[in-house]
Structures are given as structure tokens and as C-alpha cells.
A and B are shown apart, each in its own frame.
Chain A
């Protein structure tokens, strides 16, 4: 019975060569985007080297770093899993590209005020999370509030603020 000819397009196998794991796959299985996305993830775990063995196949050599906690089998298995993950990621990105572009474009478009409107819409006074006295102050001062106004003294430097207090206490103590 003649041996069944292996379909090289279905190849995605890992072998051991010296102290490295070698993964070989057909180019039609995974794009170079998926390959590079996976390789990037593994740069901190091992040394990664890619080669084009022929017109159809790519070979990736994974060499563990010195004192690495990863075995060759683990590296190869995780690499193959990550290739699937990256391939799916790019596939979904491609499928949803138009929708995402539309969503972002609409979000940006709605943030721009319509033509003819010089000032942005007035700030609403009903802010339920603020304390009542703050909400009242804001509603009273809203129209006349300038960016230079500092009703709560937030812009006063710490040194200036407490120096005044210390000098006042000092005078009181001397008396």
C-alpha cells in the first residue's frame, strides 16, 4: 500500500534541533503579521529566529535564554498557541475595520460643535455628586467665573498659605 503523501500545507510541526525548538509551517496557514505578532511576544522568553526555507514554508527557531524556566516543549507549544491567537486577532481586526473606523469617526464628529456656534454649550448646574454649598456657589458664579478666579484658594502656594498662619500664631504666642 503506497504511503499517503503528506500535504505540506497542513504542516505546523515542531522539532528539536540541538538546544533549540524548530517550528515549521506553510505560509498559507499563518500570515507574516501573525508570525511577527507572535515573535514579539516571545522576545523576552527566548531567542527567536525566522527563516524562509523555501517558497512556501517558514521556519522559526526558538532558543531558550540562559537559565530560562521554559523547556523546549513549552516554548514550542506556547508559540503555536500564540500563533493561533494572533491569527484570529488580525482576522477580527480586518473584519471589523470598517465598523471601528465608522464608530471613531462618528465619535470625533459629534465632539465638534456645529458651524456657527461660537461658544460651547453652558455647563449644567444640576451636578448631584457635589455638596449643596459647592453646587450653589457654582451656579451663582458660573457666568462671571473667569479662569483666573480662585474662589477656594487652590492656586495659593503652600508656603505662602501656611507662612501667614505661622506668623499669626507667633504674634499670638508672644503676647
Chain B
């Protein structure tokens, strides 16, 4: 399943951190498409893909929010 993150909302470091965190439980690939980072996530069980993707998106958002506090 694929999702995309706009560079003006989600920093690359947050996406990288999420990929590192989820790499052990899912197969993840990333690519760039203009202003977006495209993430393709495969959990191994298609029934769980949507849930994994949602958790991944939340993780990226959480990292983004915590990074905003550090300047």
C-alpha cells in the first residue's frame, strides 16, 4: 500500500525515522515525486496493510511534531 508525504509538512528526517522503526515489521520502499515522498509499505499480510500504513503515518506525524519542538 502506498502513501505520500508533502515535504512542506513532513520533514525527510521524520520519514526516515519511521522507515527505520518499521523496517523490521514491514517491507518499505521510498521514492520522490516532485514535492512528495512516496512510501510503499508491505506488511506481508494484505489484511494488515491498511493498519500498518495508518500506524506508519501516525509515527511520521509524531516524529514531525517532536522535531518542531527542537530548533
- Contact surface of A with B, Cβ cutoff 8 Å: 32-33, 36, 39-40, 43, 47-52, 58, 63, 65-66
| Residues of A close to B35: CB separation below 8 A | 52
Cβ-defined contact, A52 with B8, below 8 A: yes
Cβ-defined contact, B61 with A39, below 8 A: yes
| Residues of B close to A58: CB separation below 8 A | 9
Cβ-defined contact, A48 with B58, below 8 A: yes
Cβ-defined contact, A36 with B64, below 8 A: yes
- Contact surface of B with A, Cβ cutoff 8 Å: 3-4, 6, 8-10, 35, 51, 53-55, 57-58, 61-62, 64-65, 68
| Residues of A close to B8: CB separation below 8 A | 52
Instruction: Tally the A-B contacts, defined by beta carbons under 8 Å.
Output: 41
| Residues of B close to A48: CB separation below 8 A | 57-58, 61
| Residues of B close to A66: CB separation below 8 A | 51
| Residues of A close to B4: CB separation below 8 A | 51
Cβ-defined contact, B65 with A50, below 8 A: no
Task: Other than A40-B62, A47-B57, A52-B6, give 16 A-B pairs with Cβ distance below 8 A.
Answer: A36-B61, A36-B68, A39-B65, A43-B61, A43-B62, A47-B53, A47-B58, A48-B57, A48-B61, A49-B3, A50-B9, A50-B10, A51-B6, A51-B9, A58-B9, A65-B54
